[in-house]
Each structure stands twice: as structure tokens, then as C-alpha cells.
Amino acid sequence: MGLGLRSRRTRYIIYKIWALLSLVRWYSILLIALALYLSAFYLFNSNVPKLEVLMRPGLHGQIIALCLFIMSGFIINAFYDLEKDMINRPNKTYIEKHISRSFSLNCYFAFNTIAGVISLLVSWKVFLINVLFSVVLWAYSHKIQHKRFFGEMGAALLTVAPFISLAVFYNNVTWKMLEFVALIFIVLIEREVLKKIIGVKGDFVLGNRSIPIEYGERKASIAVILLSLTSIAQIFFFLRFVNSGMPAISAYLMIFLQAAAILAVYWKKDYKNADRLMKAIIIWMVLSIPFI
């Protein structure tokens, strides 16, 4: 009997841990951490030996702090968006629903506190920008995300904000980095509009204002296509940095994926597959950082 109780308790703890990992989008956290490390190697320290870059403790502290802040952002966003998520993606939200709101808030404050302490140990400038990042994450989840234009742009800005924080850490900004971040920014806005089209039912039921609700699906899809064309133009412009070899192949693959997304939106109205293509583009952009 005792063994059975312990076994059930162990399964319950494992389930809770898995639910928390699902809530904080562990796969997104890993991708962001990878993007930050690759950026540290190839965007901010391209001429510095990789081992020397890794030997700087502040880099690891900065990335851990940013990941904790982002995890807390996912938690507070899920806290405010539970009703909408249950409408738009009930199967994916089922596990997350088994985490109580009090436990979610405790994790939110714990992650923010730990991240704040680590940021302060790295530097006071990093601490200030990371705390500002955390406050804006809360403001976005609480109010901004429900506003048309500001919701989509806010989500994209918050996603590229860790790169800005890393630039503050290194006190180094280059045109190549700015153009790359601008490219990511446009792709992220594109995906946010797609997500609003896909999740229009939840926004409509809860009375949230979004581009598809305010202007209709057709105009929202035109916005997606225009953003896709803008990102393709950006990639062609960026090719002056990478005009041959694997870097050029990487850029042309992104153009191909964007063209496929335009086809999915314009001809087939297949927004879910277009969203999957956007995810593929974002992942490929991260993996292509070494080729920039």
C-alpha cells in the first residue's frame, strides 16, 4: 500500500513537472537559448575564439536570466489567456489547466526574482533592461496583446528584446545584427497576424480586438502577404553580406519558405500550414546564424 501511494505520488509529481514545462513552452526556451548563444558566437564575437566566449561567466548568467524572464512571461500570459486558449486550443491547454493559478503565480514571482538577482550579478545595466523587459512582458499579457496592431507588434518586439539585452551586455551593435533582428521582427509580426486569424474564434467570444476581427479575414490575409513580401525583400537586401556558399543557400531557402507561405495564404486559405511554415522559417533563421 505504501509503495502504491509513493508510486502515485511520483507519477503526480512527474505530471506536474511536465505540465509546468508545457506551460513555459520549454521548446521555445531551448530555441531562444540556442539563438542567444549563436548570436554571442557569430554576431557579437565573430573574431573571438568560441572557447573564450564560453569562458565568460556573465554570458551564461545573462542567458539564464533572460530564459527565466521569458518563462515567467509565458506563465503570466497563460494566466490571463486561459479562457481564450481553452476555446482556440483545448487539447493543448488541457495539461496546463491542471496547474493551479496560485502555483502559476508562485512560479512567476520565483522565476522573476531569481532572474533579477542573476541579472544584477551580471551588471546593473543588464539588470535595468531585463527588469524593464519583465515589466513590459506583464503589461503585454495584461492589456497590450488585446489591442489591434499593438498586440501583434508587442509580441514581436518582446521576442527580439533578448537580442537587445545581449547587445547591452556586450555593448556592441552592428548593422548586420540590426538588419537580422529587423528581419526576425517582420517574420514574427507576420506569424502573430496568422495566429490571430487562426484564433479569431476565441478573440471574438471574449470581445478582444484584433486585426481579423476589426478588418476581416481577407484584409488580415493581405497584411500577411505584404509582410511576407517585405521579408523577402529584406532577405535579398541582406544577401550583400552573404552572396555565396552556404549562407546564400540558407537565405534562398528562407525565400522559398516565404513563397510557400504566400501560396498557402493566398490560394488555399490554409492558415495553419502557413503558420507551420512561419515556425520553420524562425527555426531556420536561428540555425542559420553561424552562416551570417
> Which pTM value belongs to this model?
0.84
- Identity (one letter) of the amino acid at 68? L
pLDDT at 157 over 50: yes
pLDDT at 87 over 70: no
Q: What is the mean pLDDT of residues 128-142?
A: 83
Q: In degrees, to the nearest 5, what angle opens at C-alpha 200 toward C-alphas 194 and 203?
A: 125
Banded model confidence at residue 93, pLDDT cuts 50, 70, 90: low
Average predicted confidence (pLDDT) for the chain? 81
- How far apart are alpha carbons 20 and 22 in whole angstroms? 5
Domains identified in the chain and CATH numbers: 1-144 (1.10.357), 174-292 (1.20.120.1780)
pLDDT at 203 over 70: no
- Highest average pLDDT, of 5-14, 121-130, 166-175, 195-204, comes from 121-130
- Highest average pLDDT, of 31-45, 100-114, 132-146, 200-214, comes from 31-45
Q: What is the pLDDT of residue 1?
A: 47
What percentage of the chain carries pLDDT values higher than 90? Answer: 21
What percentage of the chain carries pLDDT values higher than 70? Answer: 83
